[in-house]
Amino acid sequence: MNTTSSYLTVGGIDVDVVYKDIKNLHIGVYPPLGRVRIAAPLKLDDDAVRLAVVQRLSWIKKQQHQLQSAERQSEREMVTGESHYVWGVRMRLKVVERPGRVHVEVDSDRLLLYVPEGAERGVRAAALEQWQRQQLRERIPGSVSSWEPMIGRTVPRWSIRKMKTKWGSCNRETGHIWFNLELAKKHPDCLEYIVVHEMTHLLERSHGERFTALMDSFMPDWRARRDQLNGAPLADEKWN
C-alpha cells in the first residue's frame, strides 16, 4: 500500500499523520500519554487534516483526559510482587524493610527497594521516583553531548519532570530541554530519540517537512524508535 507520513502540531497537540489509499479519515488517541494518530486518504493534504483535528479537538482532549485519569487511578501500591519497568526491562519489585537509608538497587531481574519498617506507600514511591531521576541524570548528559556536534546546537540546560502528554519539550530561545520522568522506564533507544527530537526542534519549531527531513538525516530509524516509545507498556502490574 502506498503511504506517506507527516507530523503536525495543532492546538498544542502533536499529531502523527499517515496518508494511505483509504476513503475516510480516522483519528485515534492512544495510551499511555494520549498520542494522536491519524490515518488520512491520499487525496487530503496537511491543511485539510489540520482542519479535521481542529474540528475534533474537544473530543481528542476528552480522550486524553480519560487516559490520564486512568493512569492516576492505577497508582502503584509499591509492594513486593509488582512489576516495574527499568530501561524497557520488566523487573519484579521486592520491598525490604530494614533500618538505614531508603534506596533502590537492581539485582538481576529484581528491583530491590530498601525502606524503614512501616514506611508508607508515599515514601516508597518517592524513593523509586528519585532513583528513576538519577538513572536519567546519568544517561542524559552523554547522549546530549554526543549529538551536539552532529546537530550543530548545544544544550545549555536540561531538566527532568513529570509530563502528562509529552515525552519531552524544549524552549528554542534558551535551548532548555525537559525530559519526561517516565523515560526511565523505556528502552535507552527511546531516550535517545527524544534527545534528537527535542534538539531538532532547536533548529525547526514545527513538525513540518523540514523537521521530518532533519530527523531523517540525523536518525534514519527515528520512526521505529518513536513507535517503540509509544507502543511499549508503561503501566506497571502484578508479577505473574
Query: Mind listing the pLDDT tens digit for each residue in 213-226?
Result: 999 999 999 999 99
pLDDT digits (tens, 9 = 90+) for 57-102: 999 999 988 887 765 545 678 999 999 999 999 999 999 999 988 9
Please tell me the pTM assigned to this model: 0.78
Beta strands 110-115 and 89-97 are parallel
How far apart, in Å, do the first and last CA atoms of the chain sit? 40
Helix axes 46-55, 57-73, angle to 10 degrees: 60
pLDDT tens digit string along 169-215?
A: 999 999 999 999 999 999 999 999 999 999 999 999 888 889 999 99
- Alpha carbon distance 156, 74 (integer Å): 36
Nearest to 19 by CA among 53, 51, 43, 35: 43
Could you tell me the domains of the chain? 4-73 (no CATH), 83-231 (3.30.2010.10)
Whole-Å CA distances, 175 to 109, 135, 155, 183:
37, 22, 5, 20
